[in-house]
Structure 1
């Protein structure tokens, strides 16, 4: 299985592209494609036909996947985009840590 440095629920910052500098929460991660869907980032318009749930239809905004290489995790303590490091805790579990302030990123 492919490995990516972000997980569902992380707050990330976009490094490049049309949405550069935007921050959002990761909704879904696709490790094999190395992509993720971020809330409010990489929006596209979708023309929705009227259905029973949405009787009027209309034009809706939909988030599209973005490459994880363009994303950087925002540390909750120092509130800055940071690279991800790894540390082993006393109980033997491996966790992700902020490279700037050494704060544990995993909940």
Structure 2
């Protein structure tokens, strides 16, 4: 099964407190279908100091996973969320936008 949303895709958040924010997929967790998007779903974390790792104590901001169904591929041409379809070119399966039929690079 090919994934519609992949690493380094530009996505837009569809629901939640960060609705409408655009970011780049940093990590995908296939087991629970979640993704980490850069600059989206930020949470505060209280962090202990770990001298061995040169880690200081304090409150840090980090991205939390968001469910893959709550994000969609962002089409830069139309400036809207878009759907993905798969098609074959020279025996290779590739992705393209459904609305404009242009291939994702």
RMSD: 1.7
Report if the CA contact (8 A) 1:9-1:27 is conserved.
yes
Structure 1 segments unaligned to the other structure (5+ residues): none
Structure 1 stretches of 4+ with a deviation exceeding 6 A read none
Q: Which aligned pairs between 1:60-99 and structure 2 lie closer than 5 A? A: 60-89=60-89, 91-99=90-98
**Higher strand proportion (structure 1 or 2):** 2
Q: Which aligned pairs between 1:1-107 and structure 2 lie closer than 5 A? A: 4-52=3-51, 53-55=54-56, 57-89=57-89, 91-105=90-104, 107=105
TM-score, with structure 2 as normaliser: 0.87
Task: Provide the aligned length of Structure 1 versus Structure 2.
Answer: 103
TM-score, with structure 1 as normaliser: 0.86
Structure 2 segments unaligned to the other structure (5+ residues): none
